[in-house]
Amino acid sequence: MRHSKRIAVGPVQFRIGSDWPEPIAALEQLYAGYPQDEARPADATVCLFAARSWRRWVRASVHSGGDFVVPAALPLPLSMGLLAAEMGMNLQVALGWRRHMLLHASAVARDGRALIMSGESGSGKSTLAALLGEGEWRLMGDEFTLIDPVSGDALAFPRAVSLKNEAIAAVAAQVDAARLGPLMAGTPKGDIRHLIPRAAAIAAMHEPARPALLLFPRFGGAAAIEPMGEGEAFVRLTEASTNYVALGEAGFGALTRLVRETPAFGISYPDSATGIALVEQLWAETK
């Protein structure tokens, strides 16, 4: 790799290499405020390489690879190199991380207690976390939340937030433009623009938070709150964990403890403002 960058996100140290300078330059802008430790060995490696050697010159197209390689990973045009890097980082963590139970969930924290939101793509978990993170909450992550199997604590993974489609305008209206990455229009995931988390969230990324509330948001429909039993929360979180099976009994123990100790609710909401109001209401009730 001719160009490379090390990035620490929560407990994971990435090394990202690229055949081209542009994706690395974009990452350097997004991750400028993150702690730098060049001496620390990388936990995960992401490589952005030319699909064919001549492609670098003819029509730039990036593949992402690394410790785990998905053969069918689609090549992306160079203008989407940042998206390729993000997908590569997600892939390496989702498939390779073993120290913690990994939940496909966003999280925010307040007073050392964590609100964890799990849902499918389109549930609004990322947007809710991003908007809450602009208020009185610490953004812990928009995509992954790590659970320590020993302590039961939630650990942050505050990568640059991946805003999609309508969420871009909603968040852009509230933040300094300097905290937004370049707009990538028409990607396979729609329009994407990254948001750099607030400096305080990055500075606190190694501070664990005690899980206090589990929410399963669903965007669309009238505002509704539905209490969820331990068993259903357990089933949903096994599906939301990328490494539950690999962790064996440690994962089983961590997840049973999480659903027993943490009240869980499904929420439906027609717009972000309503979603945030439901979150604040439930948070106040769990204190």
The contact set with another protein (CB under 8 A) reads 229-232, 234-235, 238, 245, 248-249, 252-253, 256, 259-260
> Which of residues 21 and 229 has its CB atom nearest to another protein in the complex?
229
Shortest distance, position 266 Cβ to another protein, whole Å = 15
Q: Closer CB to another protein, residue 133 or residue 211?
A: 211
Nearer to another protein by Cβ, of 230 and 280: the residue is: 230
Q: Select 4 or 238, whichever has its Cβ closest to another protein.
A: 238
Minimum distance between the CB of residue 229 and another protein, rounded to whole angstroms?
4
Compute the distance between CA of residue 192 and CA of residue 219 in angstroms, rounded to an integer: 19
Side-chain half-sphere CA neighbours of 163 within 13 A: 24
Helix/strand number for the chain, H first, E second? 10, 16
Least Å from the CB of residue 245 to another protein: 8
**Structure-token pair, residue 52:** 């064919």
- Non-local CB neighbours of 80 within 8 Å, separated by 6+ positions: 62, 184, 187
C-alpha distance from residue 84 to each of 138, 204, 280 (Å) = 27, 27, 35
Q: Are 157 and 140 in contact (CB under 8 A)?
A: yes
Closest to another protein by CB, 185 vs 245, is 245
CB 149, min distance to another protein, A: 13
- Nearest-approach distance from CB 286 to another protein, in angstroms: 18
- 179 token code pair: 């905290």
Place of tokens 């943490």: 262
What residues does 12 pair with on adjacent strands?
A: 9
